[in-house]
Amino acid sequence: CKDIRHSSDDDLLLPYTKSHGPSHSHRYVR
Amino acid sequence: DCQPVAHGTVTHETQAASKHSNSPVLESNIFISDITDDSGTHRWVSGHITEVHDPLRSVSVLEPGGPGGCAHNHRELVEVTAKTRKCLVAQNGGYFDTHTGQCLGNIISDGKLVRNSGGIQNAQFGIRKDGTLVFGYLSEDDILDQENPFVQLISGVVWLLRKGEIYINESIQAECDKTQETGNFRHFVDVISARTAVGHDKEGKLILFHVDGQTDVRGMNLWQVAKFLKDQNVMNAINLDGGGSATYVLNGSLASYPSDHCNPSKWRCPRAISTVLCIHERLCQPEDCSGHGRCVEGQCVCQHGWSTPGCANLTCQAECGEHGICTENGCVCDAGWMGLYCSQVCTAGLYGDGCNQTCTCANGGSCDPVHGRCTCPAGFHGDSCEQECPIGFYGLNCKQLCQCQDMCPCDAATGSCNTTYQGERNISLHRAGHCLATQMWREWRQEEEAQAPRPYLSEQSWLVVCSILATSLLASLTGNLIQTCRKCKARRQRADYSYLPLGEINGATERGEMKSGKVLFQ
């Protein structure tokens, strides 16, 4: 495990994020 | 209801997957392309386009680290997950919660429903059991369909291409329920970054797309990705996770340029992500070739005696018929049967397993091919038909009793009586002579009787008549005797007398004197 340099997750590309506005609800169809 | 009316209620597209069995599993292509954005700025982007020729048998959605990874909110490097299935090519798949590691969307991995998001309307990619590729939006019923269930399913965000046309604006409408909240989502679509996507071409080949990048600095926005794929003749495509998650692993090694930094940040590191889209060697149907063969490039190479394609059936299964059992070494015949397919009865004189026992039936007895039991002809009996019927018996199994008079012998086979000496019957001469004399007397008597007139009543009739007459006589005598006895008894009981004056008896005087006398009263 020491050989694996873990990513710092600093390039998050998410479609729905709370930090950029109101929380977004997904549409559900049944 | 956000779907364009032109598409009606059909919210997904299907395409039969290609089945190029003779082609290599995949074709991995590197591209370095000059991309011009809306402002006219040129940028160079690099990435991979991977074509998969037989998606049904060579594509799998993998959970992070292997089966059960989603249940444990596991995150794993694509390289590590790829090794669990010996993926030839692997790239990151669905979205996940970067804080908890929770897998997001719908996930079906090799036929196992890992996660059901209950009809969430994000772009989906799936492969049904019959090899149908599905792109678009799915209801929960679609996901849980059992008639033609999904064997692989993964969720993305934004349906990039639909029927060869860019479908991003419609996706924004469909995947977001309030237009005023699409600001962030629009940014997500418009920003350049590392991207991954999956689609298919007109032939049904699966197309995996990956482009390196870094959000706002390098890479492509989704419009550019959609146009790029359209130019590659891709028909339908959806966007998968991107940014620092975008990873491409070829033959077990990282083949992309990650956008995340390592710690310390001097180097770039691949991100531990959630689900993986894996391209592996073609799987056989069934995967383990029923335990009777090896899977070589999607084709079962069956062991001797087992038939293709799945090595589930023995080659002689249908040929051994009712009298044999199919084994890996061919038909094993039941006792009494022989031949390649156990269709022939043992040859005469042989019986048993493999017809290797010799019958012992004598005197023309037939042999049962299964157990070797003898069926004797009429006149013989015994285990091997070696014994002639005993005197007085004849027929099959000597069960019939001779009906001959006066101990005359009968024919052991037919039962017909022999009135003359039969040497081969082993009867003494004296006995045969007696039989002959009696027979002759009986025949003479019968002839005499036949010639004599027949009496009106038989001897028995006369005997009955005489008996009746004698009985009647005896009864009459007995009755008279009883009557006589009763009279005697009555006389003794009436011993009183009365005296009557008689005028004259035997000439006596009139004045006469009373004299004693007797009168019998009856």
Span B371-401, pLDDT tens digits: 998 989 888 988 888 888 888 888 888 888 8
Q: Is the pLDDT reported for residue B73 higher than 60?
A: yes
Q: What angle do CA A11, B262, B156 make, to 5 degrees?
A: 35
- Does residue B425 surpass a pLDDT of 50? no
Q: How many helices (H) and strands (E) does chain A have?
A: 0, 0
Q: Assess whether pLDDT exceeds 70 at residue B6.
A: no
Q: Using CA atoms, how far apart are residues B185 and B192, in angstroms rounded to an integer? A: 13
Q: Which contacts of B418-427 are long-range, i.e. CB under 8 A and separated by 24 or more positions?
A: B425/B391, B427/B391
Spatial distance between the Cα atoms of B273 and B352, rounded to a whole number of angstroms: 68
Looking at residue B284, its pLDDT comes to 87
Summarize pLDDT for B227-237 with one digit per residue, the tens. 999 999 999 99
pLDDT band at residue B348, thresholds of 50, 70 and 90? confident
What was the pLDDT predicted at B201?
A: 97
Which among B188, B194, B261 has the least Cβ separation from residue A15?
A: B188
Place of tokens 């940028």: B43
The helix (H) or strand (E) run that includes residue B234 is strand B234-240
B6-20, B246-260, B318-332: which is most confident: B246-260
Position B405 scores a pLDDT of: 74
β-strands B150-155, B330-333 pairing: unpaired
Q: Tell me which chain A residues have a C-beta less than 8 angstroms from the C-beta of B260.
A: 7-11
pLDDT digits (tens, 9 = 90+) for B188-207: 999 999 999 999 999 999 99
What percent of the residues of chain A are helix, what percent strand, and what percent coil, each to the nearest 5?
A: 10, 5, 85
Backbone phi, psi, residue B378, to 5°: -60, 135
Res. B86: pLDDT tops 70:
yes
Higher-pLDDT residue of B451 and B205 is B205
pLDDT at B183 over 70: no
Shortest CA distance to B56 belongs to which of B184, B202, B200?
A: B200
Alpha-carbon span B16 to B8, nearest angstrom: 22
Question: Given pLDDT bands bounded at 50, 70 and 90, which one contains residue B522?
Answer: very low
Tens of pLDDT along B146-165?
Answer: 999 999 999 999 999 999 99
A9–B175 C-beta distance less than 8 A: no
User: What pLDDT does B436 receive?
Assistant: 62
B487 burial via Cβ count (<10 Å: 0-12, 13-18, 19+): exposed
- Which among B139, B245, B261 has the least Cβ separation from residue A8? B261
Interface test with B, best of A5, A8, A10, A13 (most B CBs within 10 A): A13
pLDDT for residue A27 is more than 70: no
Closest partner residue to A5 (CB to CB) among B119, B175, B267 is: B267
With contact defined as beta carbons under 8 Å apart, do B83 and B312 qualify? no
Q: Give the angle subtended at the CA of B486 by the CAs of B482 and B489, to the nearest 5°.
A: 140
Residue B19, number of CB atoms within 10 A of its CB: 16
Contact B276, B226 (CB under 8 A): no
A-chain residues near B140 (CB < 8 A): 29-30
Q: Across all residues in chain B, what is the average pLDDT? A: 86
Using pLDDT thresholds of 50, 70 and 90, give the confidence band for residue A22: very low
Contact B181 A24 (CB under 8 A): yes
Stronger pLDDT, B318 or B255, i.e. the higher one? B255
Nearest CA distance, A9 vs chain B (angstrom):
6
CB-defined contacts A:B, below 8 A: 105
**β-pairing, B124-128 with B132-136?**
antiparallel
pLDDT confidence tier of residue B454, bands split at 50, 70 and 90:
low
Tell me whether residues B184 and A20 touch, CB distance under 8 A.
yes
**Long-range contacts made by residues B409-412, C-beta under 8 angstroms, separation at least 24?**
B409/B435, B411/B379, B412/B378, B412/B379, B412/B380, B412/B388
Q: What are B120's strand-pairing partners?
A: A28
On the question of pLDDT at A30 being above 90, the answer is: no
Q: What is the pLDDT of residue A21?
A: 43
Which of the pair, B457 or B210, is modelled with greater confidence? B210
CB contact under 8 A, B271 and A7: yes
The whole-number pLDDT of residue B74 equals 97
